[in-house]
Amino acid sequence: MYGWRARIAMIVAHSNAVVEPEFTRLVPNGVSVHTARVRIGGISVEGNTIADQAMQEAVKSLSDLNARVFAWPCTAANIAVGNDGDLKQARMISAMTGVPTVAATAALIESLVALKVKRIALATPYSHDLNESLAAFWQSTGIEVVKTSGVDLGGERKPLEPLSSKPVSNVGLQEPYVAYNLARLAYDAGAEAVVVSGAGMRTIEAAAPFERDFGIPFISSSLATLWATLQAADIRDPIAGYGRLLQEQPTLQWMRIPRV
């Protein structure tokens, strides 16, 4: 039986071609990942404002899995609905399912709390309006952002030959070295960790090299969401080769992820 230790039910933005392969690649033996998708627009506040009805339909489609935990790894959608939008979305999903729900922004905060980090450098692939919403979110958390850097990888989805003959997310086509270099641009000597926001970008391969080169934790939306999701499912196997968070498995404090 697949998922004999735990099944993860995951809701994914329809254009995200990254987070499913990353989760499936990293979950320990006996853990399985099962997904449903919701449609989003472009990388902007408007494009990432998802109606409750669409989210509820995705949750219903996963309802017969006997999942131990739900994951909602779309950082942009979490921040597009306001500072407590991730909590609202997570509580709605947990009310429908009776299990914990891990939103990406909540997982980022939880990971920093678990690692005792209070000052971060922040890197993003977002548009200007999403970066403004992201700044407001981080201001509300009590964690100091000492430097922000990034590049706008949004815009209209379009074919990008030879990689895709159909319209596709530009973020999802980026190689891991892009995440590494975004983190390097954001790095500041006063930061205790670097955070790369956005689960649609390949980041997991960048974590260990960055940590070796700069000596501070590399946290991304995907890494934080996977760690918090496994912790919420009582799976705590060390996962080597992808940075301190997954290797050390610090204990989830349930600061921003609602218990059920």
Q: Give the count of domains, the chain.
A: 2
99-153 confidence digits (pLDDT tens):
999 999 999 999 999 999 999 999 988 666 666 767 778 888 889 999 988 776 6
Cα–Cα dist 123/197, whole Å: 6
Check whether residue 73 and residue 61 sit in a common domain: yes
Per the structure block, which two tokens stand in for 146?
């000492």
Predicted confidence at residue 135, as pLDDT, reads: 73
- Whether the per-residue pLDDT at 154 is higher than 80: the answer is no
Are 177 and 241 in a shared domain? no
Is 115 within a domain? yes
What is the model's pLDDT at position 227? 98
pLDDT value at position 172? 64
- pLDDT, position 128: 65
- pLDDT confidence tier of residue 50, bands split at 50, 70 and 90: low
Asked if residue 139 and residue 96 are part of one domain, the reply reads no
Q: Which domain holds residue 80?
A: 6-104+222-248
6-13: strand order across its sheet? 31-38, 6-13, 69-72, 101-103
Q: What is the pLDDT of residues 159-184, one digit of tens each?
A: 666 766 766 666 666 789 999 999 99
**Together in a domain, 207 and 113:** yes
φ/ψ of 8, rounded to 5, equals -105, 125
The CATH number given to whatever domain includes residue 234 is 3.40.50.12500
